[in-house]
Amino acid sequence: MRDIAIGNPDACVRHSLPLTAIEALRHIVGVSNVRIAEAAPEIGRDASIVVSPATTDEVAAIVRVCRQNEIPVVPLGGGTGLVGGSVSSPDEIVLSTARMNRIERLDPVERVAVVGSGVTLEELQTAAGLHGLEPGIDLAARGSATIGGMVSTNAGGMMAFRNGVMRHRVLGLEAVLADGCIYRDLTRVVKNSAGYDLKHLFIGAEGTLGIVTRVVVKLDDAPRATATALFGLPSVDAALATIGMALQSNAGHLRAAEAMWNSYFGLAASALGWTDAGVTPDQPIFLLMSLGGAHEDALQQEFERIYSETLERFPLATGIVASSRQQESDLWRLREDTSVLYRAHSNAPSFDVSVPLTEIQDYLERVLTGFAAIEPDLFPYVFGHLADGNLHIILNRAGPLSEPMTAAVEDVLYGGLRDLGGSFSAEHGIGSKRIHALLATADRTKLATMEKVKKALDDQSIMNPDKVLPCPGWFVRSPERPASGESRRPQIQNESNPTNG
């Protein structure tokens, strides 16, 4: 075993990983579950070692060793996060939850599941499906994204407009704190007003306040049948009106309403070789919808009815209703296989904003004008979860961009967004890539309070340091703005995966 070198001199926490600590970790989880990072290429992180515990007690013991030795811990779930939340450095250890993958309880009467944090969303969806239930949250990275990771990023996805985000699906959770104590609130009931509801501190904390080890997830009845339709529409207003009609449907309930603007749709359709005479590719916006209900035929007929009504109001609309599973999955691939973008523009910078529904059209017009003022041929590919105003915006540029270009693009995208009632980070979190934007736009009292919470729960800053918030104490030193060099405005680069939500 080699001694691990001193880390980056600019890092907030400096130390080496002593051999005694590595031996202690091996003792806790077994030799084969402490891997030198080079021997764990599938994890592909930069930390010196990757530790894979199987139980909460093992996580707690690992954290105690790390605390004693001041070794930062970077939690890793499925690694599908898009803002660099689980990137690590050689003086840190990665704690992988891959072995904490047990569905401990799935109760069809209570409609709850108690799962280890390393269970993937798809595993939970499959297990719940056996009982006619579903977790009520869905995203394209379902095969790898873990419940612990989704809790930690407060994931959203395509059912959020109806069921809320991850925060609203969690009844209770267990987490290991920075001092090695176990916070245990595995409540399986909706109502619990016994004191501060502290689970919410860990939801969306991206591993900076503790390591989530177990989660109680609320389940819903899964519909017996679903149907999918794709409409080509002349405007955002037309798309929102169509969503309104689908929401008022008596024949089924709307499960997803995903939008793809023309440039994205054209690229995806041509890259995937998709054509259909029923939808003209020159429409400004495309709306992919899913209805759930009792009978597939009835749902398909309902889409026909919604289409007729849409056509009456927007005569330019086109549309198709999927009539087979293959057609349905081809349609969903257009929306979910966003890797086509990154093949066209490697490392293309991507953004994840929330805009109030009535502001979307104006917002996008301002973005187009703003981008054109930066560079005449700069334009955004736009798609996202339209029903809740969450837009993903990818630039037609290979990344990373220069720092001035980054600043100009962010000024256009983020300027005034908070005052509009939107958010510069809708569902992907802050990670290491969006800290500068949080510092630039967030309410000062919120930032100061976040720093106090962080200090109270993690005084040594060993829990996923340099994520969400910069170095400890930055706010105290500079309450108005981060001191030079601390804003950590990174160059815009591709997110950690060549795909997007």
Ligand X SMILES: Cc1cc2nc3c(=O)[nH]c(=O)nc-3n(C[C@H](O)[C@H](O)[C@H](O)COP(=O)(O)OP(=O)(O)OC[C@H]3O[C@@H](n4cnc5c(N)ncnc54)[C@H](O)[C@@H]3O)c2cc1C
Chain residues that interact with ligand X, rule: CB under 6 A: 74-82, 85-86, 97, 117, 139-141, 144-146, 148-150, 152-153, 155-157, 206-207, 211-212, 427-428, 431, 464, 467, 497, 499-501
Give the nearest distance from C-beta 277 to ligand X in angstroms: 29
Give me the residue label for tokens 């395509």. Answer: 158
Write the CB contacts of 355 (distance below 8 Å, at least 6 apart in sequence): 363, 389, 391, 417, 420, 422
Whether the CB-CB separation of 201 and 453 falls below 8 Å is answered with yes
- Assigned token pair, 380: 């955004």
Give the nearest distance from C-beta 135 to ligand X in angstroms: 13
- Assigned token pair, 463: 């829990």
Whether the CB-CB separation of 393 and 380 falls below 8 Å is answered with yes
Write the CB contacts of 479 (distance below 8 Å, at least 6 apart in sequence): 444, 448
Give the nearest distance from C-beta 161 to ligand X in angstroms: 12
Give the nearest distance from C-beta 74 to ligand X in angstroms: 6
Long-range contacts of residues 372-381, Cβ cutoff 8 Å, at least 24 apart: 374/405, 374/408, 374/409, 374/412, 378/409, 379/263, 380/263, 381/261, 381/263, 381/264, 381/267, 381/341, 381/348
- Nearer Cβ to ligand X (283/461): 461
- Nearer Cβ to ligand X (406/497): 497
3 phi, psi to nearest 5 deg = -80, 145
Give the nearest distance from C-beta 247 to ligand X in angstroms: 20
Give me the residue label for tokens 């200090």. Answer: 455
Strand locations in 386-446 (E)? 390-395
- Nearer Cβ to ligand X (223/465): 465
Give the nearest distance from C-beta 408 to ligand X in angstroms: 26
- Count of beta carbons in the 10 Å neighbourhood of residue 434: 26
- Nearer Cβ to ligand X (146/242): 146
CA angle 78-79-80, nearest 5°? 90
- Nearer Cβ to ligand X (397/467): 467
CA distance readout (Å), 85 to 91, 204, 404, 431: 16, 11, 24, 4
- Nearer Cβ to ligand X (460/478): 460
- Assigned token pair, 415: 């300027």
- Nearer Cβ to ligand X (15/167): 167
Task: Give strand pairing partners of 95.
Answer: 51, 75
Give the nearest distance from C-beta 81 to ligand X in angstroms: 3
Give the nearest distance from C-beta 469 to ligand X in angstroms: 12
Give the nearest distance from C-beta 52 to ligand X in angstroms: 12
Residue closest to ligand X when measured from CB atoms: 149
Give the nearest distance from C-beta 145 to ligand X in angstroms: 4
- Nearer Cβ to ligand X (66/155): 155
Strand locations in 191-315 (E)? 211-218, 220-221, 225-233, 253-261, 285-293
3-state secondary structure of 324: coil
- Nearer Cβ to ligand X (228/300): 228
60 phi, psi to nearest 5 deg = -60, -40
- Nearer Cβ to ligand X (62/412): 62
Give me the residue label for tokens 């700069």. Answer: 378
Give the nearest distance from C-beta 467 to ligand X in angstroms: 6
- Nearer Cβ to ligand X (53/252): 53
Give the nearest distance from C-beta 170 to ligand X in angstroms: 12
Find the helix or strand (DSSP H, E) in which 326 lies.
Answer: helix 325-336
- Nearer Cβ to ligand X (33/153): 153
Whether the CB-CB separation of 186 and 117 falls below 8 Å is answered with no
Write the CB contacts of 249 (distance below 8 Å, at least 6 apart in sequence): 291, 302, 306
